[in-house]
Structure 1
Amino acid sequence: MSNFDLSSLALASAFPTNKILTDDKGLPSVMVYIPKFKMSDVIDGAGDSTHPAFIVNGVEKNGIYISKYQNVAYNNRAYSLPGEDPKVSITADTARKYCEDKGAGWHMMSAMEWGALALWCKKNGWMPWGNNNYGKDTRETMKKGVPAKYESDGRTATILTGTGPVEYSHNKQLDGIYDLNGNVWEWSDGMRLVYGELQVLENNNAADSSNSKAASSAAWKAIDGTTGELITPDGNGTTTNSLKLDMVSSKGKWITGTLSDKKDEGRGCSFASVTADTNVCDKAKAILYALAMLPDSTTFDYEGDYFWFNNGNAERFAIRGGGWNYGAYAGLFCTHLAYPRSNSYWYIGFRSAFYE
C-alpha cells in the first residue's frame, strides 16, 4: 500500500465524510462529502424536491464534495490543504480556471452549493464562527487561528487554513468545512446581478465547466418572479416579471417590476431584513431560499449577517462569507453583490468543489 493510500485510509478512518481527492495531475485536496438532501430537510414546510445544488444538467447527484479549506494555488491550480495561507488577489474568472483545470468534475464552488451549506447549518443549529475580528471571532477572546498575514498596524489579517478552533467548521466537528465565516471572502459562481436583475445558471449547472459563465453566455437566465420559471434575460435588467433587487426603506426587496431606487454603488442591509414583494410566487421564492438570497424565517436573526448589493451596474458578481475584519456582519448568510468579476483584492479568495 502506498503512502498516499495510507494517508487516505487514515483520514477516512478518523473522518468518514472526508476524502483526499486527486486532480488529473495526481495532486491531493482534502474534501468533505455533503450527501444529497431535500428542501424540506433544511426548511420547515418546504416541498420534497431535491435541493438544486445536487442537480447538474438535469441529473441528480448523490452528493457533492466541498473543499474542507479555502484554497491555495500551486502551478495555477486550486488545492484544499491545511495550514496554508489562502490564495487571494485573484479574479473570479481566474479562480474558476484554477478549479476547472484540475479535470472533470472540478469547479469553483457555486452559489447554489453555498446556499445549500448555509441552509443545512441553520437547520442543524450551528452557524459557524470564524476569523472575522483580526484573527478571532467577534464573540471570542481566547481561541484564535495561526496568523498568516497582518494589517499594517500589526493586527492579524488572514489565518492559516483550518488552524482555527472547531467552532470554525460548518458542523462544529473536526470533520467539517472550515472558514466559511470570515478569513477571506470567497467568489461564488453561477449567480450575478445585471442592473439589479438576478441571473443564475439553472440548478447547479454552474458546476459543469462546459456551461459557460462568461459575461455574454446564453446559460445565464433570469427568474420570472410570477411563475418561478427561468427566462431569457433582455440584457438590460428589465426583463418582464424578472426578479430584481430594489432598495426600499433602506432594505433589500425582491420585486418583479421596475426598480424604484437604482444606483451604481454598493449599499446594504442586514440579511434578516431582506424581503420579497407580495407578487413574488412561492416557486420563485424557493429559488431564492435555495441560494440563501432570501430569509426563509421571519423570526431568526441570522446572527447579524449582512447583505450588500449594487443594482445599477451592468454586472456584479457574488462574494460570500465576509472577511477577517467584518465582525458580526460576516457569516454563511453574508453576501456581497457589488463587485465586478474582475476585482482582484487581497481579501477575496475562493474554494473548489467536485462532483462525480
Structure 2
Amino acid sequence: MSMIISIKDSLRQSVEAATGGQVTVMYDDKGYPSHMCRIPMFTLDTIDPSWAAVPHPAFIVNGTTKSEIWVGQYPAVIHDSRALSLPGRDPAASIDFDTADARCSIKGAGWHLMTNAEWAAIALLTHKQFGPDTIRGNTNYGRDYVATFETAPRQDGANPGLASGTARTLTGAGPASWRHNGEPSGIADLVGNVWEWQRGMRLVDGEIQVIADNNAADNTLSTAAGSSAWQAILEDGTLVAPGTANTLKYNSDSGVKLAKVVTATASVNTQYKDVLAAAGTAAPDLTKALGLFPHATDMARGNLYVNNAGERLPLRGGSWHNGALAGSFALNLSYERSLALTLLGFRPAFVL
C-alpha cells in the first residue's frame, strides 16, 4: 500500500517549507520518494468566461470531482522499475509508452503516467495566469533557443548550445523560467528536454480518441489498443464509440486541420496556434480544454505533429533540439506506442 503524503520526515518537511506547501514529497509502495506539485481544481470559465462553469476534465475521475491533482515536479527517473520525480538527475529516456505507463502504475493506488487532460490543464492555467510562452526550457541543446543565456548542465557533459550529442539536461537544473509558474516551486522541464508520453488520448487513422474526463488517472483502467474505454468526439463535444460517423479527426490537408473526414494521409505539422477547422467543422470547447485545438492564437511556441495512419500515442512539450517547435501546447501524434528514442521520456502523476 502506498504511503503517499502521511509521513512526517525531514525531506518532506524541508520541501514543503521551501515551496510554501506547493510541493510535497510522496512515497510509493516501496517507500521511494517523489517531489510532487499540487494543482488545485479550477473550472473551465476560469480560462474562458464563455466556457461552462464546471471543473476542468483533469479534476474528474470516475465521476468524482477532485479538489487537486499532483504532478511530478520533474520528468521521471527509474529506480527499481518505478518512476520517481527527483531533481538533478538524467531523465529517463529511450522508453516506449507501455513501459512508461507500467513504471508509474506499479507504484500503487493513485499513481499513474501523467494524462493529456492534466497536461492541458496546466498549459491552459499557465497561459491564463502568466501569458503566452512564459515557460521556457531546454530547446537548443542545453539552453533556451531564444534566451540562450538560460542554460542547464547537460547529461553528456557537453557545453550548452553545442549541436551534437544527447543534450538532455539534468531534471530541474534550469532557471525558474523553465518552471510552469516561474518560481522554484513550479513544475520543471515541461517545455523541451524530452518529449513526454501522455495517458488517455490517442489518434487512430486520424480519429481523435480520448478516455472520458480524467478517468485515465485510474491506473487500473486499460489504455491498450483494444480497450473499451476509448471514445471519439462529436463536434458538439459528445463522446461516442470510435468509428461513429462525423467524429472529429485530424486531416493532413495543407498542414493539420480539424475535420470530420480524413481525405489525406501523411505526416504533417502546423504551429499549434494556427491549427484550423475545416469548412463545415466546429471545434467544441472540449477539444480546447484538452489542448487539442487552440483556444487562443497568441502563442509563438509549439507545433502540432500528426501522422494519421494507424494508432499514434501523444507526446507533449518538445525536446532539446526543437527550438520554437517545442512549447507548453506542443503535441506530437506521430509515433506508435512501441517507439523508444533518446528524446522520449515521461512523468508520474497522482490523484487521491
Q: CA deviation at 1:150?
A: 6.2
Q: Give the equivalent residue in structure 2 for 1:115.
A: 120
Q: Which is further off, 114-123 or 124-133? A: 124-133
1:308 maps to a residue whose letter is Y
List aligned pairs for 1:102-251, cutoff 5 A: 102-126=107-131, 127-149=134-156, 154=164, 157-225=167-235, 227-234=236-243, 239-248=244-253, 250-251=254-255
Counterpart secondary structure, 2:34: strand
Q: Give the equivalent residue in structure 2 for 1:304.
A: 301
List aligned pairs for 1:1-356, cutoff 5 A: 5-15=9-19, 16-126=21-131, 127-149=134-156, 154=164, 157-225=167-235, 227-234=236-243, 239-248=244-253, 250-256=254-260, 258-263=261-266, 266-277=267-278, 279-281=280-282, 285-298=284-297, 300=298, 302-311=299-308, 313-356=309-352
Please tell me whether the aligned partners of residues 77 and 91 of structure 2 are also in contact (alpha carbons under 8 angstroms).
yes
Please tell me whether the aligned partners of residues 267 and 308 of structure 1 are also in contact (alpha carbons under 8 angstroms).
yes
Deviation digits for residues 256-282 of structure 1 (CA, Å, limit 9, x no counterpart): 2x222223xx2111111112246445x
How high is the TM-score relative to the length of structure 1?
0.92
Q: CA deviation at 1:198?
A: 0.3
1:81–1:44 CA distance, 2 compared to 1 (3 A) = same
Deviation digits for residues 143-181 of structure 1 (CA, Å, limit 9, x no counterpart): 211111368965560010000011000000110000000
Q: Give the equivalent residue in structure 1 for 2:3.
A: none
Distance 1:27 1:41 in 2: 36
Distance 1:200 1:288 in 2: 10
Please tell me whether the aligned partners of residues 256 and 268 of structure 2 are also in contact (alpha carbons under 8 angstroms).
no
Q: Give the equivalent residue in structure 1 for 2:4.
A: none
Counterpart secondary structure, 1:303: coil
Distance 1:338 1:276 in 2: 20
Counterpart secondary structure, 1:49: coil
Deviation digits for residues 8-50 of structure 1 (CA, Å, limit 9, x no counterpart): 1121112111000000111100000000001111224222111
Give the count of matched residue pairs.
341
Please tell me whether the aligned partners of residues 271 and 295 of structure 1 are also in contact (alpha carbons under 8 angstroms).
yes
Which structure 1 segments of 5+ residues have no match? none
Identity %: 40
Counterpart secondary structure, 1:222: strand
Deviation digits for residues 88-112 of structure 1 (CA, Å, limit 9, x no counterpart): 0111000000000000000000011
Q: Which runs of 4+ in 1 moved over 3 A?
A: 150-156, 277-281
Q: CA deviation at 1:294?
A: 0.7
How high is the TM-score relative to the length of structure 2?
0.93
Give the CA RMSD over aligned residues. Answer: 1.8
